[in-house]
Amino acid sequence: MASQQQDVTGLSRDAAHANQTLSPIFDQEKEQNRLATAQKTGEIGRQVSDVLVTQGKLNAQAAQSDPAARAAARAKLVAGGNGSPSEEQISAQVSRTATADYDTGGKYQKVAQAVTAAMQGLAGGNLAQAASGAVSPYVAEIIHSQTTDSATGKVNVETNAMAHAVWGAIAAASGNNSALAGAAGAVSGELLGRWIVRYLIRRKSRTGWRQRRRQVKSGAR
């Protein structure tokens, strides 16, 4: 059995430095912070979803007294085979039309989900890097996945384009503000809410997502 004994003469007895050679598998505190940030971002995403649903309801209330909206609703019902829709039926159709984009499954909800998923994917990271070429393909893949119909495999061009526009605005804002660039989780709520409102509800600027829609149609992500 002597031949199986280990020669320990060459082993270091410096206990102070021995542990330095064993690198931790992961930084526990950093990982916990990352998970907490991802969870917080998910909660923010759900809050944004609620805001969108509320906005849809407000739109529906306003549309009820809009002659054009009621005329469009009546025309849609007639086209669907209801030759003489009642006022109640017209009101219901007005509500369905006004809330369609904001309710679960609507295009604005899908955009919010895509951007939230991108935020969660970068949880604990540097938002300034989000505008860099190194991170962009990763974000593009998340948005592509979130805006693709699982049944048909086809990309919803409009929601994909809008999600990229919102994400681009967030990345640009962080890149232009050193205070925002540090941690995705710390600013995701403020920025996500701000840009969702600006691009999806007020729709003040549609140039970015229109350009992106053309890119998606041509085969780009």
Tokens 């994400």 -> residue: 167
Stated pTM of the model: 0.66
What phi and psi values does residue 154 have, to the nearest 5 degrees? -95, 145
**How many Å apart are CA 150 and CA 217, to the nearest integer?**
18
Percent of the chain whose predicted confidence (pLDDT) is above 90: 27
**How many Å apart are CA 197 and CA 57, to the nearest integer?**
15
Amino acid at 170: I
Structure tokens at 121: 């994917």
Structure tokens at 6: 């280990």
Segment 6-26 shows an average pLDDT of 51
pLDDT band for 64, please (50, 70, 90 cuts). very high
- pLDDT of 205 over the 50 cut: no
Give me the residue spans of the domains in the chain.
42-103, 105-221
Question: Is residue 55 within 8 Å of residue 201, measured between CB atoms?
Answer: yes
Segment 53-70 shows an average pLDDT of 95
Q: How far is CA 25 from the centre of its chain?
A: 30
Lowest mean pLDDT among 84-93, 94-103, 119-128, 208-217: 208-217
Q: What is the pLDDT of residues 71-88, one digit of tens each?
A: 999 999 999 999 999 999
